Each structure stands twice: as structure tokens, then as C-alpha cells.
Amino acid sequence: MKPTAFEYHRPSSLNEALEMLSSLDDAKLLAGGQSLGPMLNFRYVMPENVIDINRVPEIKGIHFESNGAVRIGAMTRQYEIEKDEQFNQQLPIFREALRWVGHYATRNRGTLGGSLTHLDPAAELPGLCALLDAELVIKSQNNERTVSIHDWAVSFMQANIEENELLSEIIIHPWTVSHGFSFLEMSRRHGDFAIAGVACLLSLDDKDCISKTAVSLIGVANGAVRLKNAESLLLGERFSMDLAESAAQVIDGLDAPADAHHSGDFRKRTAKTLFKRALKQAYDNAIEGRTR
Amino acid sequence: MGVKNLGAAVHRIEDARLITGHGRYVDDIKIPGTLSAAFLRSPEAHAKIKSIDLSFARQIPGVVAAYSLADLDPSLQKRMVQAYPNPAIKTDITPYPLAKDEVCFVGEPIAVVIAEDRYIAEDGVQAIQLDLDSLDCVIDAREALKPGAPQVQSSFESNLSASLNWKFGDVDQAFASADHVFKESYFQHRGAPHFMECRGVLAQFDSAVQRLTLWSSTQSPFLVRRYLAAFLEREESSIRVIAPDVGGGFGPKAVHYAEELVVAIATEKLKRPVKWIEDRRENFVGTNQQRDQWWNVEVACKANGKILGIRAECIHDNGAYVPYGLLLPNTSIVPFPGPYSIGAIDVKLHSALTNAVPTTPIRGAGRPNAIFVLERSIDTIARELNLDRAEVRRTNFVRKDQFPYETGAKLPSGVSIQYDSGDYHKTLEMALQASKAEEFEVRRKKAAQTGKWLGLGIASYNEDSGLPPYEGATVKILPTGRVLVEVGSCAQGQGLETIVAQIAADYFGVQTHDVLVRTGDTDFAALALSTVGSRVAATVGPSVHLAAQQVREKALKLAAKDFEASVNDLEIVEGRVGIKGVPGKSVGLGDLSRRLVANVNLPVPSGFSPGLEATAYHTTERPVYANGTNACEVEVDIESGEVRLLNYWVAHDCGTIINPRLVDGQIIGGVVHGIGNALFEHMKYDRKSGQPLCNNLGEYLLPLATEMPQIHCEHMESPSPVNPLGIKGAGEGGTIPGIACIISGIEDALRPLRIKINEYPLSPERLLELIDEKRQQRAS
Amino acid sequence: MSTKHSIALTINGQRYSGDVEARLTLADFLRHHCDLTGTHVGCEHGVCGACTVHVDGRAARSCTMYAVQADGSEIKTVEGLASDEGNSLHPVQEAFREFNGLQCGFCTPGMQMTIAAYLEENPNPSEQEIRELISGNICRCTGYQGIVKAGLRAAERLREEQS
């Protein structure tokens, strides 16, 4: 399983990378290589040009802004996000979810930007970005635009990005209010693509009612989905398994495609089971956080 | 005799090179000038080949040659040799080295491109223009046997490849006198082998001496030589086949494949070494696997659970060709009655051609399938008659006092099937004790309080291992005094070098690691057959013993002559022959060896033949029977369908243990294959197009460390009287009952719902379906 | 034919260079250009882990990297695990031998490299952590039990060496 021949380009600056993207035909960006590598080796893709952005410094690193925003360079490796203590303090759900993202060695190379542009429907990181209303900064040689994560997926594994554009960074505003979190995923084996996965953030008011919540779902639809309908049902309510059960029903309304290995119904059913469990865990986590 | 290496948990000889990355697998062997091959494989399950245009491939710089069958010498445009001829085969069809005018499965080799490197060879394959006329295909073996089914092979109107009947005793009488008859149907699917090192072959032709050398990632170098020689119509002596380090075999590497043949032909044509290394994508469609079996089973028993007879009928998926005789179908039925004294058996099996890669044995072959039927039948009786599962086994087991036990059946050779030794009741007790089965109900109740469904699985088995007829070994004392053992047999991780060295070491008072071992080369003196069917320890082991014993006796005799002592007064300690109790009076084995090889005009000691070496064979007409009982604890999440494996226990008897560390390794590894079959591994095909639906290791689920339980092994030894060391096989003993054990555990966990699980693999989705079905049934 | 790229890198402390096509994987470069055949190729799609090496100190699959990407990098392969020119085995290697962590040996280099890298950042792993770690490496022979024991024992040895 060897790739077809391609021309290899390695820009050493963002400007160089953008210039190449504009001028080269039939070019693919090589980031972590954990998705593109297999596709090249299988000859599923046979680009004329490959642009290796691993040595573009401007799109790496995690920056904490004074306004509370966290800016993550698209080429930040998944393990870097996992290990960053300051990041984990503010966004602990990432470390929890990253346990499920591929495997140790793939996280050493795989990037946040790569996961977001590849847009596998079962990918965890797009789910977390949806949970947190992330904003994506897209650059081209002559332009820069910011896209909300909710406008990022155009269709199945197709992101809102042109051939001459590059995802340069992701901006996340962590919740400042005290909250609990949970991330649950079901896969056949550890590290496999999720059958379904649920990410949840939940805050409680002083009456123990849900004052703020965000729930996103992966693996079921054509990409990560924020369950806004479920969130509305939860707001203002006191947590109970019955509440969780009734909020979970919104999942039935989703379009869940089947594939050779799982039916859509099974994915939805799994998602509902996980939804209830994730909500409970986030709730317990929120209570625990308050008593600390 | 000396330090006892046999039976000790010695570290492996193989490890020193393997842990440092100095193993030598086929793709590690470098010969300057070697070309790389890549194959064009059929993209369709069934088609007529209209044309193959290799011209564009040949034009690519770096491509040295491209061949289809038509480009080979006419004498080679014939079908490959049948490895195991059997008159019962109705569709005795083997592939051509490259497809002629019909392709019958996705993955069938059609053409080969040979280039300076594999990258270019694949470019060449991509440039081949292939024109196919699609034909109807059939994937489901049951569909294949229905009237009007598409022909899998245009040469055969009927897809029925063979109908076998394994029968003994009076089954009609058994059913007539039964208190109960239970009928069940089972679906079994075993999947693909997925050894970590894909197949590979490197061939070199020395035109000066007209000799072909082949390094192949094979389990059967001697058989590969035999089939190559037969096909190429030349002397076996002109072909040398070597199995280097092999990264796992599990059965499918024991088969001789078209790629081996094509690479051998190519190297001769091109006068340069040619190498083909299978990649994982090819492995999915080009390496043999096991697939579907559907069983209808009737069990007749008395009220106390004693089985009087079994009737069964199986439809078996053979795949598109029959390269390996009826080994897999036969091993699916011959194991009956298993470890039980059942007087009447009538099992029929219908093997069907299908448009998929041929099925040949994988670890256990058909034995796990037969044992699954037997074990599920035992569990059915227990369930329906409300008897204890262990008790039903005890009622039916062959008893210790009945050994050697004749089952009433005969092997094809005419030899009666005789279980040599064992204590089946004891291994059952060991497993029950290890798993604390007595206290299980307490654990189950406790788990139920937290909403968890706990189950205890039990499965027993016995296994014909050490398959006849022989293996051989040569033991030599080298001029330096080192002991060298050469065996034509080879290993794929079992630790053959180590056990061979352990056995030989004891005869010469040396340590295991002092013994030099070479394996897997057809140029060795001793003949060999194949490393399959857990046969090597029990056949190679005794042959090493026989050869070492002969060498030892010769050394003692010569030393006795020199010392003017009796042989009985001598001992061999640390490679030196000396007189017991007389320190300082000794001679090194190396000295004796040099005396026996002598020189021109220098006599060999009178009364002795030249050399201090011997070649010996252990021959046997019958296999030896290992046995055991497995138990497991599983936890089922009935909301998600997930199954967690909490614990697994094996109580095992493989006769005399050569190295307990290695036996444990084989057992544990084998159990994990069984777990894979039970819960994860499903080589799915699209029923209409014949396209495989699993094409990479993300889609085909091999067991990973995170889902495996702790596997606890206990052993007992009931030495076999059939070979001088009492050894029985251990390679497949984990797999054979493993599937039944896991399924039995899941069924036990769901006992409150009274769900029957008559199939595997069992995915969470399927488990939920079974639970839903049962709930709907109860509601209505 | 596409352009060749000159690359120079350090492997196991030694300098290597070559002129390579961009599509040449790092695994193939190590195995066929550098004669370091200890790194094995099991799947070429980043799932089995047999090809795992260390790239600039971190475990990575060499089948999903191209040799050109490793220009200027420091690579460690299984041949470089032992120290003192192979005379002194790495604790991971010793533990694999001790606990029967290998049978056919094909997954072994990748397994050892993965564990060795991990233990540098987590010197006191639990059994669950080791199992999760090696869930990215497929073994078809051992059933993983010996490998897990070897990982835990290697961690213990390394902690002893540190103190």
C-alpha cells in the first residue's frame, strides 16, 4: 500500500503556506498525517501536491488571552492539548475526551486542526468544539474570516473551507461559571471510532436547577451535533433520570445514517443511553464541584 | 542425567534477537538486485476476463516485467496442485497461478508487475487495463446450495463441493429410547487470521547450479517444496524452501499459495531475485480465512441429562476454490463426540462453493465449531431440564477409568479413534474451583443490586493434537563440543527452538541456551511436514529425544571403550563424558566428535560409524488428546448491549509440559483468538456484490489489550502413552472451547430473560436485538 | 518520476542521509535505506502500531510519516533501545523476555517503543493505563497479558534505577 507519486512542499511560514495554497493545483495539506497518511497509502487520494505544514510556526501553540479566550493553533498536537495544565484547568473536558481520540502514538502527531478539517462524523474534537461554540479562523492569501463551529460542516466530511484556504486557529471561550462536565463514548474497542459519544457541560443554580447546559453528540448524524432542543428541555429543571430520559428523546428526531457495521437506529439508541448517563455524570460532577 | 531443562520455565532462545529488532523475517532478507512484485487482484466477485492490457504498466520507468497467465510458458498455464486429494471432493478445483479467463472472488490474482521497488510495482498495477464481464455471484453458502443458485465456478453446475457424513453407533435407536430430544440451530463465523506479519516470499534462482531458493513466511516449507516441484515438474532436490522468522501463522500460512509459485516462476524468467510482500489490504482478500457455518442439531438424552445420540447437519462456506482438500470440513465433524462418551453420532456437512476467498483452517480449524455445538447442546440440556451445567458434563464425560477410550469412530486411515489419556472430570473441577463457581450466585446477586448482569460461562473440550504421521530431527555434536539440533519443522512464535533445545540439553548435561538450533529448511537431513494442528511439540519433541538419545549412547559407548569402563558407570555433565565419582577422568563431547569424523588415512574408532550425529523420526498412527475446561465471568450491560469480560480461567491438560511459560503463552493467546471470534471478528461481505465489507483493521476488529480479561491458567499433566515423552499439543487449546465459554457466559448473564444465544460473533447491536425479540415475544 | 529530496537525520545517535522520493514512508526508509529492519510494517494505515518509532522523543507510527518529513529529526528505533552498543538491554526489553511478552516477535519492536516512550512521561502507570496505552498496538499471539506484566515490571525497574 504505497502512495502515488506527489510533489512535496514544506513552507516555513504561514505566508509561504498560503501562497502555495493559492498557486498549486490539486494540493492536500499534510498536518498530523494520521488521516491523510492512510488515505495516501491506500491510494484513496492521489494529489499532485502535498503541502507539509508541520513546520509553520504561526499556527502552533496555545495562547491564553486576557479576555478569557483560549486560542489554539490548528497545528497544535493532540498530546499538547492533553498535557497543558493551564488548558486543563479551564477546559478539563478535553483531557477526558482525548483519552478516546485514537491512541497514544496517533495523538503525538494528530492535530486539532487536522481533526476539524477531516471532519469524521465520529470525531471527538469537533464535538467538543461544538459544545463550546468554538470559532474557527480561516486564512487565505488575501483574506481572513472567522466561522462559527456551527457553520463549519457543510456536508458529510466536507468543511466550510476553500481549496486556497487554511484553518489557522480555533478560539474557545471556556465557561467562567462553575460547572460540571462529562464525556462518554461507546466504541467496540478502546480507541475505535465512536458508535456514539456525548459531551456535556452543566451548571446549577442555588436551587440545584440547571441554569446553563450544553450537550453535543458525535457519531450519530453526519457530524457533531449540538442538542439545542434537549438543552431547552433541561434549562430550569431539577435533574432526574426521568428528565434525562425525556430530553434524550430528541435524539430520535436525528437523521442517523447506517453503514456496513452499524444501523442508524443502533447509533441513536446508544446515543440515548449515553446521553442519560452523561447528564447524570455532569450533574454529579457539578454537585461535587460546588462542595469543593 | 543432568540439569533438568525439560519442564523448566526457561527463557526463550528466540527472544534475544526478537527483542532487539534483529529477527529475520522474509522482508528483512536483503539480496542485492532484488525486484519487487505487486499483484493485480480481481475487483469483482465473479467475472469473465475479456482482456488484460499490460502495455501501459510495462512502459513505466522502473517496471521490469508484467505477466498474466498467457505470458507464462505454456507448460505452466495449468491449475495448481491439490494439497490434500480426497475422492469426496466433487468440485476439485484449484486456482491457476494467475487467473485464466474467469475470476471467482474479489482478490483473486490476475496479473503481476515486477519493478525496482514496490512503489513502482504498484504504479504498474494501477496502469493495467482490465476488462471484465460481470457474472452473477453468490456469497451465502445456503443460497449457493439452493436450486437455481448462480454458479460460483463456470466449470461446475452445482456449488456442492462435498457432502461428508461422520457417523457411528445406532442413532435411530438412541433417539427412539430418549426421554428428551432438543433441537437447536446455530450460526458460526470464525473470521480471518490477521497474523501481524503478512505473507511474503523471496525467490532466487541460481542458474549455475539450476537451483531455486525460496524464503517464505510459511508454516510448511517441506510441503511448499513438494507442491512447487510437482507443479514445475522438477526434482525436489533442485528446490530449497526456508521458513525464516515468521510473524504468526495460525493455519493459513500452511497453505501453498499462487503468489509463491508466481514469484518462483518470475525469478527464473528475470534472472534476478524477486520478492513479494503482501500488504494488509491484500491480506483481507488474498489470504485464506474461515467463514460461515449453519448448523441444525438434535440431541437425544435421558432425564438425567445423559446424551444418547446427536444428529446434526451443517452447511459450510468453502469459498471459490478447494486448494486444501477437505481439512477444514473434516475437522468440523470428526471431533464429535468431543470429551463425552456419546455412543451414537450422525453429523452431516455440506461444503458449498461461494464467490469469496477459499476457507482453510485457522487456529483450531473446525474443532471450535464442533465443540461449540457440543457445549451449547450440554447447556441446552441443562437449561431445559433445569440441571446444573457442570453436572451434565460430569454425567457425560469419558471417565478416567475408561482410558484409553475408543469412541466408536475410525480415522480415514482405518485407525480407530482412541482417546489416550486424561481426567476430564478433574480439569472441570479445577476450572470450577479456580473460578469459585460455588460462590457465583452470591456474586451474581450482588452485581444485580447495582444493575449489572453477571454470568458464568463454562466450556469443556478435548482435542486431537500431535497429528500423525511423523516429524524428524537431527542432533549433532559439533567439533567444538556444542550441541546442534536441526529440525525441518518451523515455528511462528510458539518457541520451537527453545523446546527443542530444552529436550536435547538434558541428554548432554548442558543448559538450554548452550544448544544451537536451526529450523525450517528443506536442505536439512530430516524430513518434516507442517506446523499445524498443535502437532509439533508432540512429534518434533519425541524425535529430538530419539536422535539425542542415539547420539548420547554413541558418545557413552566410545568413551566407555576409551576408559575401559561400562557405559553404566559413565555420566555426561556440562558436555563432558566422565566416570561417576571419578573427577578428572572425562572427555569432551567435542573430542569424541572429532575422533569420529577422523581424516584421510586416520581411522574412525573401530566398531563405530563416522560422525557423532543422528537423525531420527517419531512416527505415530494416532493423535494424542489434550483436554480442558474453561470458565469465564462476564458482565452484560443490557441497556447498551456491551459485554465486559471480567475474568477467565483455564484448566488444561497437555500431557508432559516442556516449558510452562510457553504453554501459558499459547493458552492465553489462544483464548484471545476465541474471544475475538465470540465478540469481535466478523469478516462481512456484501451478499449481493460479493465485495468484502471489512477492508482495513479499523473495520475488522481484532482483540485489543483493553477488552481482554485476566486469564488464569492451571495445568495438570496426564502424559500420553503414545509418545516417549508423554507430550500433547497446546497451541489451540485456548481457542477450541473459548468461543463456547464466552457465549455460555453471556447466556448465563441473561438467564432471567431466558435468552438463547445460538450464534457468534455477538455484537452489542445483535445482543440488543436478541433482548428486544425476547421481550416482544413475552409481551405477546 | 517525481523530485528526489535530500534528507539528513539522526537515527539511534548516528547520522543518516539519503535522496528520497517524497512518497517514501519513514518506515520504508528505515527498513530499506538504512538497513534497520527492526521496525516492522503490519498495516500501513496507522492501526496496528508495529511500525512505532520515536520521532524527536515521541512515539509515532512510521507508516503514516514520510521520510522527507523526518529531515533534521532525531529518530530512535528498536535497534537503539539497548545501550552500550547493545550490551545492556533496556528495562523494557528485559521485562519482555522475563514475562514472555512476545511470541512471534513481529509486534514486539512497536510495543517496546510505545511502552518505553510512555514510561518516560508516566513512570508509575496502573495496569489500566498500560492496557489503554497498548490498545494502539495489536498483538495476535500473546493475548497481551505478558506484555502488560512486562510494562508494569519495566516501570518498576526504571523507578528503581531513578532512586
CATH number attached to the domain at B15-21+469-616: 3.30.365.10
Taking 50 as the pLDDT cut, the residues of chain B under it are: 1-2
Q: Write out the H or E segment, with its range, that includes residue B205.
A: strand B200-206
- Domain residue ranges in chain A: 7-52, 57-172, 180-288
Judge: domain A57-172, CATH 3.30.465.10.
yes
- Give the amino acid at A191: G
Q: Which of B60, B643, B686, B704 to mutate to test the interface with A (most CBs of A within 10 A)?
A: B704
Nearest CA in chain B to C138: B704
Residues sharing a CB contact under 8 Å with residue A292, sequence separation 6 or more, in sequence order: none
Distance from the Cα of C22 to chain A's closest Cα (Å) equals: 6
Strands B453-465 and B624-636: antiparallel
- Give the amino acid at B586: S
What CATH number is attached to the domain comprising C13?
Answer: 3.10.20.30
B215 touches chain C (CB under 8 A): no
* Count: domains in chain C: 2
CATH number attached to the domain at A7-52: 3.30.43.10
- In chain A, what residues touch B707 (CB-CB under 8 Å)? 189-190
Inspect the interface and report whether the beta carbons of B19 and C93 lie closer than 8 Å.
yes
Inspect the interface and report whether the beta carbons of A105 and C65 lie closer than 8 Å.
no
In chain C, how long is the greatest CA-to-CA distance? Answer: 55
Q: Is the confidence at residue A249, as pLDDT, over 90? A: yes
Q: Write out the H or E segment, with its range, that includes residue A29.
A: strand A27-30
Q: What is the DSSP string of A104-173?
A: HHHHHH-BHHHHHHH--TT-HHHHHHHHTT-EEEEEETTEEEEEEGGGTEEETTEES--TT-EEEEEEE-
Q: Scan residues 89-128 of C and list those with Cβ closer than 8 Å to A.
A: 114, 118
Output the nine-digit C-alpha cell for A164: 486556497
Rounded-to-integer distance, Cα A266 and Cα B636, Å: 17
For residue C34, what are the domain limits? 4-78
Neighbours of chain C (3+ CB pairs under 8 A): A, B
Nearest CA in chain A to B700: A261
CATH number attached to the domain at A180-288: 3.30.390.50
Beta strands in B531-677, from DSSP E residues, in sequence order: 570-573, 576-579, 586-588, 613-619, 624-636, 643-653
User: How would you label C113-134 residue by residue, b for 16+ Cβ within 10 Å and e otherwise?
Assistant: bbbbbbbeeeeebeeeebbbbb
Rounded-to-integer distance, Cα A6 and Cα A4, Å: 6
Helix (H, G, I), strand (E, B) or coil at C139: coil
Global pTM value: 0.97
Rounded-to-integer distance, Cα B453 and Cα B251, Å: 36
Inspect the interface and report whether the beta carbons of B196 and C106 lie closer than 8 Å.
yes
* Arithmetic mean of pLDDT, A7-16: 98
Inspect the interface and report whether the beta carbons of B706 and A186 lie closer than 8 Å.
no
Pair C123, C154 in one domain: yes
User: Taking Cα atoms as reference points, which of B184, B629, B181 lies closest to residue B393?
Assistant: B629
Our CA dihedral for A205, A208, A211, A215, rounded to 10 degrees, sits at 140
The 10s digit of each residue's pLDDT in A129-184 is 999 999 999 999 999 999 999 999 999 999 999 999 999 999 999 999 999 999 99
C29 touches chain A (CB under 8 A): no
Rounded-to-integer distance, Cα B112 and Cα B40, Å: 6
Specify the residue for cell string 461428508.
B164
Nearest CA in chain A to C41: A1
Rounded-to-integer distance, Cα C62 and Cα C50, Å: 9
Inspect the interface and report whether the beta carbons of A105 and C135 lie closer than 8 Å.
no
CATH number attached to the domain at B397-407+416-465+623-780: 3.30.365.10
Distance from the Cα of C72 to chain B's closest Cα (Å) equals: 24
Nearest CA in chain A to C137: A103
C72 touches chain B (CB under 8 A): no
- Give the amino acid at B481: G
Q: Rounded to an integer, what is the distance from CA B385 to the centroid of its chain?
A: 37
Nearest CA in chain C to B709: C145
Q: In this structure, what DSSP letter does residue B151 have?
A: P
The 10s digit of each residue's pLDDT in B496-515 is 999 999 999 999 999 999 99
Q: What is the DSSP string of B290-312?
A: EEEEEEEEEEEE-TTS-EEEEEE
**pLDDT for res B1:** 46
Nearest to B119 among A2, A193, A270 (CB): A2
Distance from the Cα of A3 to chain C's closest Cα (Å) equals: 6
Pair C116, C52 in one domain: no
- In chain B, what residues touch A102 (CB-CB under 8 Å)? none
Pair C33, C71 in one domain: yes
A1 touches chain B (CB under 8 A): yes
Q: In this structure, what DSSP letter does residue C90 have?
A: -
Inspect the interface and report whether the beta carbons of A261 and B642 lie closer than 8 Å.
no
Write the burial class of residue B126 (CB in 10 Å: 0-12 exposed, 13-18 middle, 19+ buried): middle
- Domain residue ranges in chain B: 15-21+469-616, 397-407+416-465+623-780
Nearest CA in chain B to A263: B765
Distance from the Cα of C52 to chain B's closest Cα (Å) equals: 12
The 10s digit of each residue's pLDDT in C71-121 is 999 999 999 999 866 679 999 999 999 999 999 999 999 999 999 999 999
Query: Has the ipTM of the complex gone over 0.90?
Result: yes
**pLDDT for res C1:** 55
Rounded-to-integer distance, Cα B149 and Cα B142, Å: 10
Residue B676: what are its φ and ψ, rounded to 5°?
-60, -50
* Arithmetic mean of pLDDT, A103-109: 98
Rounded-to-integer distance, Cα B131 and Cα B111, Å: 13
**pLDDT for res C86:** 67
Pair C132, C64 in one domain: no
Q: Which of B452, B765, B767, B772 to mutate to test the interface with A (most CBs of A within 10 A)?
A: B765
